[in-house]
Amino acid sequence: MNRLMWATLRRDLLLAVRNRTEVANRLLFFVLVAAVFPLGLDVERSLLQAIGPSVVWVAALLATVLSVDTMFRSDFDDGSLEQMALGPQPLTVLVTAKVAAHWLVTGLPLVVMSPLLGLFFNLPAHEIGILAITLLLGTPVLSLLGAVGVALTVGLRRGGVVLTLLLLPLYVPVLVFGANTVHLSGSGVDTTAPFYILGALLALAVTLAPPATAAALRISLN
């Protein structure tokens, strides 16, 4: 089972490398959406610091929404997804590997780039660190929840709009706790509780999302 997961993960990462222009476009979109606010708004430094974490988190959310539809789309179009579902291997294992690959090529670069965007908003060093940690905990949740939404809409010819409407309400709690954790840190408030909540959301998503995605894929393929 572990060998199958690693093989699927390696395959998806190789496909991402071959389509590196698409991966770069997602990262560029994330940077541009977040960077346009300090460049385009003539506001005080204190206001930039106040809105910075929320803007970065919204940009990360939008970048994930734009990229998540590709998680199963190519496999569905060429018929390999149906072969995966009919095979003897657990579909949950394949789903977990594909979600991990999506996060590695989409979520992890967002985490790596977040300190640079924090500098755009004049965030203090400790807030930049908190921002990166919240994205490190929150972006996997976005990928896992996105996998469920994609699995439900992969069979639809124009599922992009439906997928967006389906995912945004699910993403709101992650957005709220992620951005508010940074705001609380800037106010000198203990951030242990928000971090525990983000960790709990991640644990729930890791536990529940793969089997839910596998079940949704079987429904969409029938």
The confidence score (pLDDT) of residue 211 equals: 94
pLDDT digits (tens, 9 = 90+) for 100-135: 999 999 999 999 999 998 888 888 899 999 999 999
pLDDT digits (tens, 9 = 90+) for 151-161: 888 877 766 77
The confidence score (pLDDT) of residue 207 equals: 94
Contact 33, 66 (CB under 8 A): no
∠ CA 132-212-210, rounded to 5°: 50
The confidence score (pLDDT) of residue 190 equals: 85
Nearest CA-CA partner of 131 in 175, 173, 99, 169: 175
Position 206 pLDDT exceeds 70 = yes
Per-residue DSSP letters for 131-182?
HHHHHHHHHHHHHHHHHHHHHHHTT-TTHHHHHHHHHHHHHHHHHHHHHHHH
How far are the Cα atoms of 10, 11, 52 from residue 20, in angstroms, in the given order? 15, 14, 28
The confidence score (pLDDT) of residue 42 equals: 63
How many other C-beta atoms are found inside a 10 Å radius of the C-beta of residue 205?
23
Contact 182, 127 (CB under 8 A): yes
Q: In sequence order, which residues have a C-beta less than 8 Å from that of residue 30 and are 6 or more positions away?
A: 59, 60, 62, 63, 109, 110, 113
The one-letter amino acid at 222? N
How far are the Cα atoms of 23, 62, 120, 184 from residue 177, in angstroms, in the given order? 27, 16, 22, 10
The confidence score (pLDDT) of residue 61 equals: 92
Task: Using the Cα atoms of residue 7, residue 10, residue 57 and residue 168 in order, give the sign of their dihedral.
Answer: negative
Contact 54, 143 (CB under 8 A): no
The confidence score (pLDDT) of residue 103 equals: 94
**Tokens at residue 114, please?**
């977040």
Model confidence at 58, in pLDDT bands (50, 70, 90)? very high
Nearest CA-CA partner of 220 in 73, 18, 13: 73
The range of the structural domain enclosing residue 45 comes to 2-221
The confidence score (pLDDT) of residue 99 equals: 93
Does residue 20 or residue 32 have the better pLDDT? Answer: 32
Nearest CA-CA partner of 85 in 208, 222, 206, 210: 222
The domain total for the chain is 1
Tell me if residue 28 falls in helix, strand or coil: helix
Model confidence at 1, in pLDDT bands (50, 70, 90)? low
Model confidence at 70, in pLDDT bands (50, 70, 90)? confident
